[in-house]
A and B are shown apart, each in its own frame.
Chain A
Amino acid sequence: MSYAYLFKYIIIGDTGVGKSCLLLQFTDKRFQPVHDLTIGVEFGARMITIDGKQIKLQIWDTAGQEAFRSITRSYYRGAAGALLVYDITRRETFNHLTTWLEDARQHSNSNMVIMLIGNKSDLDSRREVKREEGEAFAREHGLVFMETSAKTAANVEEAFINTAKEIYEKIQEGVFDINNEANGIKIGPQHSPTSPGGLAGTGGQGGAQGGGCC
């Protein structure tokens, strides 16, 4: 499948907040009530359309457990977007957001779009974190906010697509250097006159043609 842009996402947040379920709902449109603990990271992908352009999302779902923290940090640098997830029925997952955010800001590139997500909105009776609190936190830290339910699929599409829209706008504004792959953005094969070459730091080595179509 051809695409205009490719965005790399990561999903982060405490263990058990529903990161893997969000991804499964987004890629496979199904919900699995019992999900094994994620080991390290798992990969998922889907195509979306923004502004009439095909955009491929490559999503790395990270393990929330503390033990994997050092591994999952390796994924911050190359991501264009991050979904920071907490569980609205567990106050402590909300309290840990600051730590997550610090971690993300420290290891990612400064332009990474972060979307704050309060998951499990279907469990309103057991709610411990008010919607307003999430909104306030997002406002304070300059994040986009949304409450979702991986179970009912409410807002799941929107969460992923709105993040992509934000990134897309930043590209249009010229904030992102799309030729630097470390930003987590790639131009589709037919959209770039030459395939994106090596990294800037290592100096000029040209001619790295990805022998794609011809």
Chain B
Amino acid sequence: MEYFKSGLKSVLGAPPPGNQPSGADTVERLVDRLQSSSLLDDRRDACRALKALSRTYRLEVGTQAMDALRQVLEMDRTDCEIVGLAMDTLCNITSPETFEAEVENYGPKNKIGEQFTEIFIKQSDSTTQVLAFLEEFDFRVRWPALKLLTHLLGNRPKDIQEIILVSPLGVSKLMDLLSDSREVIRNDALLLLIQLTKGNANIQKIVAFENAFDRIFDVISQEGSADGGIVVQDCLLLMLNLLRGNISNQNFFKEGSYIQRLTPMFDLPPETDENPLSGWSPQKVCNMHCMVQVIRALVAPGGPAQATAACQRTMRACGLLQALCDILMASGVPADVLTETISAVAEVIRGNTSNQEFLASVMAPSSPPRPAIVVLLMSMVNEKQPFVLRCSVLYCFQCFLYKNEVGQTQLIQTLLPQGNEAASLTTGQLLCGGLFSLDPLSNWFSAVALSHALIDNSIQKEQLLRVLLATNIGKPPVTLMQQCVMLLQQGNKTQCKLGLLMLLCRWVSHCPPAVKAFLTIESSVAYLTALLSSQEDTDDLQETLLQSMCALLLGLCVHFNDDSVPNYTKEKLCHLIENRLGLERFQDAIGGITRHEIYSRTLKHPQPSTKDPSDLLLDHEFCRLLKILEGVVVKSVQDGSNPQEGKDPTSTLSPSDSALVSQYKELIREQDAQIHRLNQTNETLAKEKRDLETQVYELQTSISHLRDQNLVLRAAQINLTEAKELVPSVDTIDLTNVELEKYKNTVRDLENRLAECTLNLQKQERTECNSNNSEYEKLLKEKTLELEKMKKDQENLLELLTEQDSKLMQYKEKLVALGEKVNRIRRKFRRTRYRRAARIQQLKYYRRMFNSITGINFRSKMKELFIIHGIISSPFKTIFNQNYLDQSIFY
């Protein structure tokens, strides 16, 4: 063998002296050897050599050896070593990174690896084969197979995803790697799965089906949970891939109670005094980001409402929301973690009343303790806080107010002149402060936040009209709206103006009183028209937005106008627009926003997010408002400015009629409010009534219960007396005594309860009307009567017992007498038994006699004997036979 090998080497291996072979030549020779050698060892050597060359001569090896390597995988699959080497070589060939040797010839960003990947996977069974090698437990095979798959996937993700998806148990094989005890395989498998699940819902679902979440949580806890290393982060990234946008998996996650398993991961690191940030290593911060992303994936706005609500409910119930709030209020949390956590809290509470209430009840550990929301808003209007943090607070506050009528009302309430001017800082004060601060970003934040208190809430829109502000000492107070319009007219930054305009647009929409208030403010309309007519065409984004919002505001003033301001009735405003701007210009202006990319971007997600503070211009909810109302507003203005074309019925009315109509409207509104109030009082009264009824019912049942017990007691008493008369004995007497004791207790108990009941009744009497009172008294009397009767019964019982005691004595005596009789009978009985025994003795005696005499005719003699004595019974028979046998042996 050795000889043969060396011979082969001399044929193939020995290079001509002095002529260094090129890389390509060597590769060619090695490939040839790999393909043609009949010995496994030789092929193995060739493969090893190819592997060594595959980094430096990647192109050569790749172009020439691909088929040979494939062949190895197919033909030599039973030999772990050569398979491992072949796959290592393929790994190098398909590696996505650029090797140093290549940079010179092929540039730093060549796509050699990708091209070879393409060639390799062209034969789809090649990939399936690599997948099959994952099942081989040998490290030399499993690991390279895993690496090779990772490279292939990295270069051609879509193709490999499809191949794995359709290959039987493809995903299962990969999932099994997660339980491999060799960490390097498990960790690489995690990385591969992250790649594999990217953007493929079908694979995501299969991975989840294969118990991915269980295994991920197992790995996370093995690796030290949230404090663990990068492997934990990888686990979380995989989890995120499985959940984000995949409703089926989200549902599975929730149903599998995995949300509960997230909660302990959010426990805060123990605080140390010297360095509050010590618990927050960079890795922990990364893990935290991923954990928060996982949560947000489950409650992302825009998901199916039912599923989101269910997740939100679970998160509150399992303490996750509490844990998140703890992080919000803890000290020493890094700002970026805090920002993300605030956004997560935002989405966990969004549109969920009880979660919103929960956040409202969270108190910050400051002195004096303040509501968490107030503390959050303080940082929102604080210039010194990081921009992203302030954005996330706004988002959180918006989510807090989203579909939260109570929260909206409470916010506006803090602005209204109330009796008790509390010294503590309120949300409303903070927002007003922000609205009028010198920081345009604070203005914008506060205006938007305030506008969210008015969404779908016309009551609060009217309430907000009542807000008065004290400006300077000595000057009369102005309304909030006046102040807003004034700020708008002053030369403030555009960002501030946009904020105010969004607030005003929200305010006047669906609220004629607000329109009226706005129109009566001096120069408000003039400002809008002036701004709209100032520049015809502008490319400046901010200017376009400004004009667009002004046009919308003007349009809203037309659409929701109830003609209560004589100078600016619907008709007059429309004429004004027509004359000063022209209808087309107006339409252009109002649609200006929608043509910008920022509009569609803002419309996509409710979270305010821009990189630069100065880019923060539009609010999500405002964009929605614009989208809904743009059409109707334009139509209103059109109809209003063309009086010839069919006017809508309200505008055809004469001034006196419209005054009448508005008067009626006012009346209806008042009546509406009245009905609402009455309904409320009715409800509370009904509730009270229900409560009282249940109380009465409870009392009645307890009384009937007592009555029943009483009955049972009496029955028991009767039974007892009867029983005593029938079979009196010492034992029963004792028993009765015990029972009596018990009944006494019961009676005492009952008395106590009765007293309680009486107390209850007395209480009840106070609340109940007098008619019931007498009834209860009657009942009470009955009860007392019953009790007395029971007491009497009890005395009777006692008497009875003494009586029975004496009776018992009598019986005992009788028994003694009877006993004698019994003894006599017994003696007689004993005598008969004795006689019988004697007879048996006699029998035995006869037998012995026969034994001593010769045994002749033993049986017949015996029978004779028996006949003489007249006794034949089966046991004797057997004894007899036995003896007979013994005798026969004896002979």
Q: Is the interface of B mostly helix, strand, loop or mixed?
A: helix
| Contact code string B162-178 (vs A, CB < 8 Å = 1, else 0) | 00011011111000100
Q: A77 touching B205 by the CB < 8 A rule?
A: no
How many angstroms from the CA of A209 to the CA of B217 in the assembled complex? 9
A192 in the interface (beta carbon within 8 A): no
A71 in the interface (beta carbon within 8 A): yes
Q: B201 touching A40 by the CB < 8 A rule?
A: yes
Q: Across the interface, which residues of A come within 8 angstroms of B482, CB to CB?
A: none
Q: A71 touching B179 by the CB < 8 A rule?
A: no
Q: B251 touching A211 by the CB < 8 A rule?
A: no
Q: A202 touching B176 by the CB < 8 A rule?
A: yes
The residues of A with any CB-CB pair to B shorter than 8 Å are 1, 8, 39-45, 56, 58, 60, 70-71, 73-75, 77-78, 107, 181, 195, 198-199, 201-205, 207-212
Q: A75 touching B206 by the CB < 8 A rule?
A: yes
Q: Across the interface, which residues of A come within 8 angstroms of B257, CB to CB?
A: 1
Q: B206 touching A71 by the CB < 8 A rule?
A: yes
Q: B169 touching A44 by the CB < 8 A rule?
A: no
B770 in the interface (beta carbon within 8 A): no
Q: Across the interface, which residues of B come within 8 angstroms of A73, CB to CB?
A: 168
Q: A210 touching B218 by the CB < 8 A rule?
A: yes
How many angstroms from the CA of A203 to the CA of B179 in the assembled complex? 9
Q: A203 touching B181 by the CB < 8 A rule?
A: yes
Q: A74-B172, A202-B179 are in contact. List 11 more A-B contacts (CB 8 A).
A: A8-B209, A70-B165, A70-B166, A77-B172, A78-B172, A78-B209, A181-B211, A198-B179, A201-B137, A208-B222, A211-B217
Q: Across the interface, which residues of B come within 8 angstroms of A203, CB to CB?
A: 137, 181
- Known A75-B206, A181-B211; judge A45-B165 contact (CB<8 A): no
A72 → B minimal CB distance (Å): 10
B15 in the interface (beta carbon within 8 A): no
A26 → B minimal CB distance (Å): 14
B224 → A minimal CB distance (Å): 11
Q: B169 touching A45 by the CB < 8 A rule?
A: no
Q: Across the interface, which residues of A come within 8 angstroms of B170, CB to CB?
A: 74
Q: Which of B251-268 contact A (CB under 8 A)?
A: 251-252, 255-257, 261, 264
- Give which listed residue, B137, B202, B214, contacts A71 with CB less than 8 A: B202
- Known A74-B171, A207-B222, A209-B221; judge A45-B255 contact (CB<8 A): yes
Q: Across the interface, which residues of B come within 8 angstroms of A107, CB to CB?
A: 168
Q: A77 touching B176 by the CB < 8 A rule?
A: no
Q: B172 touching A43 by the CB < 8 A rule?
A: no
Q: B181 touching A204 by the CB < 8 A rule?
A: yes
How many angstroms from the CA of A211 to the CA of B206 in the assembled complex? 24
A214 → B minimal CB distance (Å): 10
A202 → B minimal CB distance (Å): 5
How many angstroms from the CA of A77 to the CA of B181 in the assembled complex? 23
Q: A45 touching B221 by the CB < 8 A rule?
A: no
B79 → A minimal CB distance (Å): 21
Q: Across the interface, which residues of A come within 8 angstroms of B256, CB to CB?
A: 45, 58
Q: A77 touching B251 by the CB < 8 A rule?
A: no
| Contact code string B146-174 (vs A, CB < 8 Å = 1, else 0) | 00000000000000000001101111100
- Known A75-B209, A202-B137; judge A40-B176 contact (CB<8 A): no
- Give which listed residue, A43, A74, A199, A202, contacts B248 with CB less than 8 A: A43
How many angstroms from the CA of A202 to the CA of B179 in the assembled complex? 7
B180 in the interface (beta carbon within 8 A): yes
B529 in the interface (beta carbon within 8 A): no
Q: B205 touching A43 by the CB < 8 A rule?
A: yes
- Known A41-B248, A202-B176; judge A211-B181 contact (CB<8 A): no
B871 → A minimal CB distance (Å): 63
| Contact code string B230-251 (vs A, CB < 8 Å = 1, else 0) | 0000000000000000001101
How many interface residues does B have (CB within 8 Å)? 35
B210 in the interface (beta carbon within 8 A): yes
B172 → A minimal CB distance (Å): 6
Which residue of chain A has its CB nearest to the CB of B250?
A43
| Contact code string B198-230 (vs A, CB < 8 Å = 1, else 0) | 000110011011110010011001100100000
A-B contact pairs, 6 of them (CB 8 A): A39-B201, A40-B201, A40-B202, A43-B252, A45-B251, A74-B170
Q: A201 touching B176 by the CB < 8 A rule?
A: yes
Q: Across the interface, which residues of B come within 8 angstroms of A1, CB to CB?
A: 257
B165, B168, B248, B255 — which one has the most chain A CB atoms within 10 A of its CB? B255
How many angstroms from the CA of A76 to the CA of B678 in the assembled complex? 62
Q: A205 touching B205 by the CB < 8 A rule?
A: no
How many angstroms from the CA of A73 to the CA of B211 in the assembled complex? 16
B206, B249, B264 — which one has the most chain A CB atoms within 10 A of its CB? B206
Q: Across the interface, which residues of B come within 8 angstroms of A209, CB to CB?
A: 218, 221
B207 → A minimal CB distance (Å): 10
Q: B251 touching A44 by the CB < 8 A rule?
A: yes
Q: Across the interface, which residues of B come within 8 angstroms of A41, CB to CB?
A: 202, 205, 209, 248
How many angstroms from the CA of A8 to the CA of B252 in the assembled complex? 12
B177 → A minimal CB distance (Å): 8
Q: Across the interface, which residues of B come within 8 angstroms of A204, CB to CB?
A: 181
Q: Across the interface, which residues of B come within 8 angstroms of A40, CB to CB?
A: 201-202, 205
Which residue of chain B has its CB nearest to the CB of A211?
B221
Q: A78 touching B210 by the CB < 8 A rule?
A: yes
Q: A202 touching B209 by the CB < 8 A rule?
A: no
How many angstroms from the CA of A45 to the CA of B253 in the assembled complex? 11
How many angstroms from the CA of A39 to the CA of B168 in the assembled complex? 19
A10 → B minimal CB distance (Å): 9
Which residue of chain B has its CB nearest to the CB of A61?
B248
3 nearest A-B residue pairs (beta carbon): A198-B179, A45-B255, A205-B181
Q: Across the interface, which residues of B come within 8 angstroms of A210, CB to CB?
A: 214, 217-218, 221, 261
Q: Across the interface, which residues of A come within 8 angstroms of B181, CB to CB?
A: 198, 202-205
- Known A40-B202, A202-B181; judge A58-B252 contact (CB<8 A): yes
Which residue of chain A has its CB nearest to the CB of B260?
A212
Q: B165 touching A43 by the CB < 8 A rule?
A: no
Q: A58 touching B255 by the CB < 8 A rule?
A: yes
Q: A42 touching B166 by the CB < 8 A rule?
A: no
Q: B248 touching A42 by the CB < 8 A rule?
A: yes
How many angstroms from the CA of A109 to the CA of B647 in the assembled complex? 74
How many angstroms from the CA of A60 to the CA of B257 in the assembled complex? 17
How many angstroms from the CA of A200 to the CA of B362 in the assembled complex? 48
A208 → B minimal CB distance (Å): 4
B206, B209, B210 — which one has the most chain A CB atoms within 10 A of its CB? B209
Q: Across the interface, which residues of B come within 8 angstroms of A58, CB to CB?
A: 252, 255-256
How many angstroms from the CA of A40 to the CA of B492 in the assembled complex? 56
A15 → B minimal CB distance (Å): 17
How many angstroms from the CA of A58 to the CA of B249 in the assembled complex? 12
Q: B264 touching A211 by the CB < 8 A rule?
A: yes
Q: Across the interface, which residues of A come within 8 angstroms of B201, CB to CB?
A: 39-40
- Known A41-B248, A42-B248; judge A199-B206 contact (CB<8 A): no
Q: B168 touching A45 by the CB < 8 A rule?
A: no
How many angstroms from the CA of A207 to the CA of B256 in the assembled complex? 21
How many angstroms from the CA of A56 to the CA of B210 in the assembled complex? 17
Q: Across the interface, which residues of B come within 8 angstroms of A207, CB to CB?
A: 222
Q: Across the interface, which residues of A come within 8 angstroms of B248, CB to CB?
A: 41-43
Q: B221 touching A74 by the CB < 8 A rule?
A: no
Which residue of chain A has its CB nearest to the CB of B165?
A71
Q: Across the interface, which residues of A come within 8 angstroms of B172, CB to CB?
A: 74, 77-78
How many angstroms from the CA of A74 to the CA of B406 in the assembled complex? 49
Q: Across the interface, which residues of A come within 8 angstroms of B264, CB to CB?
A: 211
Q: Across the interface, which residues of B come within 8 angstroms of A212, CB to CB?
A: 261
Q: Across the interface, which residues of A come within 8 angstroms of B165, CB to CB?
A: 70-71, 74
Q: A74 touching B137 by the CB < 8 A rule?
A: no
B235 → A minimal CB distance (Å): 13
Which residue of chain B has its CB nearest to the CB of A209?
B221
Which residue of chain B has its CB nearest to the CB of A208?
B218
How many angstroms from the CA of A205 to the CA of B176 in the assembled complex? 13
A55 → B minimal CB distance (Å): 13
How many angstroms from the CA of A107 to the CA of B181 in the assembled complex? 27
Q: A71 touching B252 by the CB < 8 A rule?
A: no
